[in-house]
Amino acid sequence: MTSASDKVFAGSIPRVYEEYLVPLIFGAYAEDLARRVATRPVRRVLEIAAGTGVVTRALAAALPAGVEIVATDLNPAMIDHAQTIGTSRPVTWRQADAMQLPFEDVEFDAIVCQFGVMFFPDKPKAFAEARRVLGPRGVFLFNVWDRIEENDFADTVTDAVATMFPADPPRFLARTPHGYHDRGAIARDLMQGGFRAAPEIETRAEASRAESPHIPAVAYCQGTPLRNEIEARGGSKLVAATDAAAQAIARRFGSGAVEGKIQAHIVSVEPHD
């Protein structure tokens, strides 16, 4: 069950997210999704939960200039930050809720969502919306994080922050970003959303690297809604929680440059059998 604060990417979170989290864990998977879209004959592509635009930028670079890209996110602050960074060619940006997409039926040849579906409160409903706006020969491509135990830095940060709040540990990372990894559940939700073809699900491991333990600690504690959970337990605790996370990463991975495993599922599904 997600919390209301799990979907709030506001304040300084977009800046920290882009500066720290994007290079730490998102870049390789963004390039992967863009390559997959580029192998298909697409004219109009929709991105859902675009965040600060890491996939949008990859799509803009990988797709022919004539392909229209529409990038959306629920949080205006994330879209604003993405637009500030910009793309290599024009992209249409829109604030949009994946649960109620503001588009006509069968408008798009591909729909892309990087690490966003975990945040949807009603996944079959969101999948039904994707199915509705997808053309008959289109593809829905998305990725989700595997269980937190397969993602070294997120797991270490979660355990470290929990020691500061033993009576009520913040569980955002395990609950939401890493809470939708069951392949069977994904397939069932897609079917309930109207996708009759069985999805193709590929599990892909990558390496997450940073110059110091402090970088992943800041990325997760201050660049995600974990920050909202920490601050809700005491506004003065954010720095201490970040320091505790950095110390835990240093104990496990060393005090200099650090490297940890990340792992995700890449899901591809078409509208028909």
pLDDT in tens, 21-36: 999 999 999 999 999 9
Q: Report whether 264 contacts 45 (CB < 8 A).
A: no
What band does 11 get if pLDDT is binned at 50, 70 and 90?
Answer: very low
* Residue 169 CB-density burial (10 A; 0-12 exposed, 13-18 middle, 19+ buried): middle
Please tell me the predicted confidence (pLDDT) of residue 13: 75
What band does 273 get if pLDDT is binned at 50, 70 and 90?
Answer: low
Domains along the sequence of the chain with CATH: 4-269 (3.40.50.150)
Please tell me the predicted confidence (pLDDT) of residue 8: 43
At residue 12, does pLDDT exceed 80? no
Nearest Cα to 63, choosing from 91, 94, 85?
Answer: 91
DSSP H or E segment with residue 223 = none
Nearest Cα to 114, choosing from 50, 44, 200?
Answer: 50
Please provide the size of the chain in residues. Answer: 273
Please tell me the predicted confidence (pLDDT) of residue 236: 82
145-154, 186-195, 229-238: least confidently modelled range: 229-238
At residue 140, does pLDDT exceed 80? yes
What band does 9 get if pLDDT is binned at 50, 70 and 90?
Answer: very low
Tell me the β-bridge partners of 267. 142, 201
Q: Which residue has the higher pLDDT, 12 or 126?
A: 126
